[in-house]
Structure 1
Amino acid sequence: MSHDLDSQTAQLLQRLRRKEGTWQDWGQGCQHLQKAGHSPQAIFEATGIEPIHQNQLIIAVQVAQSLRAGNASPSVLAYFQERGSDLLYELRVLSQRDRVAAATLIVEKQLDGATVHEVCRALKTMSYQKGESEDFTDTLGDRIGHYYWQLARQQRDLAQRSRLIAQGFRFVDSEKGRRALETLLTDLTVVSATPQPRLPLYRLETAEELPYLIPVAGCAPLTAAALTAVPALKPTGAFSLVDVERPLTVVALPGWQVLLNAVDPVALLWPVAELPAELPSSDNLIPITQVLLIVDRGRQEWQGDRYLLIEETTAEPLRLAWYPQAPSAPILGQLLLVLRPAQILDNTVNRELWLLEE
């Protein structure tokens, strides 16, 4: 079976390398290879199809499939059978209904890539303004014409204004829409555009900025059963998403290296009085009665420079201690860190915007 799969993969790579079939065959082939575990770079090295082109082909194939599902006419489907992958790629931002209508428009008016890009931007923009005009209907052509009408009203440059009006006439369907565009030829009033707000974009620069979620076993005194009953959390994806299957208390800590290197970390609330060593003095005068321990359940071997969480007897609570030699009692984990509570005297300061001069 494995030999057959290898043979099929080799044949597919050969067809892609020779550019056999249509662009839809290439897109389906790239998609099949990527789903089978081949990286875009490996496919590029074997076929010469660059990763960015692979992505364009795969998405264009998906758009073509949505056209078939949306009952696009046979002539439209035939038009894109052997060409137009770049045009269908632009339609990815549209709804299925608009994709079918836009694809039909492309065929009817023989639109090029730059025009299709503008048309898709127009439809996407106008999708947020439904029902806001008395002069334009909800047809595809009128929505595009309405978009160019809005841009033309905001344009002071007469040549650019005329170009936008001409584009509006090219697509508008209704008579009322045409009259609205015609008024711009004589009414040269400029309407200032309402600036679109910038996206509130943030980026995590370091691993420490990404919170690391750790399950909390509870507050001491604890039993071994309470410690082992806590499920491990497995972050996945670029944003370290965590799927919690049942009610669970978690604590979010910075992505410190000691946590990233842990095998199976668990948090425990621990009285300061029961720590095996005295905490260093703090400049803050607020007394600390409780700290947060992070214990790695995945490391249950003795090390001379580590504090250990042990179960001396099943009848006694867990104990945190240091042993110069390996203890006879079961080791349930190694201590990774002791965390003091945050000493923030005024939380409102963190919510205020600060302007800093560079």
Structure 2
Amino acid sequence: MLSLSHPHPHADSTTPARHHRRILPSPLPHHHHHHILRRRRRFANLTTSAVILGPDGNPIGGGPRDHKLPFAPPPTAPPDQLYQPFHPPPSPLPEKYRALDLAERLAVLRDRLGLWYEYAPLVSALSREGFTPSSIEEATGISGVEQNRIVVASQVRDSLLSENFPDEMLPYFDSYGGPELLYELRFLNARQRADAARNAIDRRLEPRGVRELARSMKDFPRRRGDDGWGEFDRDSPGDCLAFARFRQSREQIDPEDAVAELERAMQVVETDAARARVEVEMERARRKAAGEEIDDEEASPELARPDVPVVRLMYGEVAEATTVLLLPVVRETEGVEAMTAAPRRTKTDVDLGLVEVDKGWTRWAVVPGWGPVAEVAGEVVVIELADGRTLPWRSAEEERVLVVANRGRREVVESGIYVVEKEGRLVVERGRKLAEQGVAEAAAEVLIVVRQPKDEDDMISDDEWD
């Protein structure tokens, strides 16, 4: 029984009143005294304490002087039931496994009772209950690698269901080799997984083939700007794989190996534009394998290698260079007027490294003292391009590049590379194209194209696939 008692007993209480009397230091006016009494009564009315009474009506836990409630334990729940305020997450187990006890669940895994994607959730459930991969392996015989594979593969399979994957195709992955196939699709998004799964079924791929397909699909968007990239369809798994083999053919030293890679690309290519591009490349490779002299521009003049050096700076290269050049920089958006107004060198003191220019400037680039550039340093200007893919040969990646150009040579010849202005922007064009357009004079002739330093060029991180 719970009742409330006043902490300040009245005069007739057994507790002496002197324990609750306050002595004012000095008499106060009547109105002040009345105010204090009223305030005291107000606080007295608000101050209460609790007393726990036993069955016989006597206080428990120290009587009225104990103003704290004793600790009350939380209500106990019936056996095998959770305390109601806690709401557990939904069970990841299929309905038919929820009634099984621990021994029965381990038996299902140990004896592989059912299809692999049906008992795969049991592994996740055991992990949530505190089991480690090694303890699960000890109890069921399923290695930690296989545990991870079937759990991930079951998640991939679930994503196929969400993408309306044809039901008649799903049984292809029901066999014990299904997890190895689906596991290789784990780094693709849901739509790509569905497309890759269809392609794997149509071509009866093994895990190694599915891995190559998945890598090519994931890598394809990163290759934008590479030679021939635009002729392949990113939404076609076959085109992505064909482009990967197309690129590999160019990395082969032996022409016969290049032809073999292109033949493998022809086996999987799906779109007409991509097939035509592979056929052109294959014809060149076969002629080269036969010993014929091949011009790089025969296949596609717009995709051929440039006629000017394209270099990538190394970290520390400028600091280690014997001589360096300080060159004015112009942004591509500033147009020919800014390039013409960029300062020109008027005097150089080689011994002390002093350089004089004819006007002030705010942006400068420091590059190694390359011979072709140093010879005409007085007329050199650097154009900063925000995206190297705008170069006419499209072999640069999506990165900033510096185009070092000579303003002293402006006459257009077909074999040269030049800087011109188009719609207020500075662009790089081939001399052949400018000549076809009737352009006889450009803003400057390109001497060299400089790419920024990079730690790993054309590499894929191992941990991305493992």
TM-score (norm 2): 0.39
TM-score (norm 1): 0.50
